[in-house]
Chains A and B, each alone.
Chain A
């Protein structure tokens, strides 16, 4: 079945550091890929998405490119802020699985001043 693997956390960075959170997937067909963010005490929010190979999703300085050849969708940000501290989830959505989202385990990010 479909699955998502993302790097284990927690990740601790200093403010203005470069962020990469790795995400790889296994899926049949042509899934859509997502990054969701969960701030402390809040629900999931869509951060960005890509629906086909080579698409780049971007939002709030975060970027991720859908790489079919490496089955990856790594999340990057050039300069993180304290307010980016949250848990980040990589997910895929596939018509083969009824359009439910299949999540990775989440990566906790802590940005220190």
Chain B
């Protein structure tokens, strides 16, 4: 139980284009979703926190106009990297928090999405 599906797992795009990454909770309602960025051989850095139906809260230094986060339903959050540039190339990971089937709070990670901007 408590599965999070993240799509796509790999994406290559041209500089200047926008890319959307989806994060879905498959068997529980995710009241909160977190988006992280991981550079090679580095830790995960929290980018933003989103609660269903509310605007995302971005961490200091993260451009909210560049990394658009939508959490319109309890099972889906999207991260859109707008006007992507090579420096945006990274591994993006979502995690979802909510009450699982047993009623206990769960926190589960997606498998991540590797973005390469040419």
Contacts and interface: CB of A to CB of B under 8 A. Distances in A.
Size range of the chain B interface in the assembly: 10 to 19
Among all A-B residue pairs, the 5 with the closest Cβ atoms: A43-B111, A44-B109, A105-B43, A103-B43, A103-B44
A89 B43 contact: yes
Size range of the chain A interface in the assembly: 10 to 19
For chain B, what secondary structure do more than half of its interface residues adopt (helix, strand, loop), or is it mixed?
strand
Nearest to B106: A46
Given A43-B93, A44-B93, A104 B43 contact: yes
Contacts of B112: 43-44
Contacts, number: 43
A89 B112 CA distance: 15
A43 B44 contact: no
Contacts of B70: none
Interface of A: 36, 42-46, 89, 93, 98-106, 108
For chain A, what secondary structure do more than half of its interface residues adopt (helix, strand, loop), or is it mixed?
strand
Nearest to A44: B109
A108 to B, nearest CB: 8
A44 B34 CA distance: 14
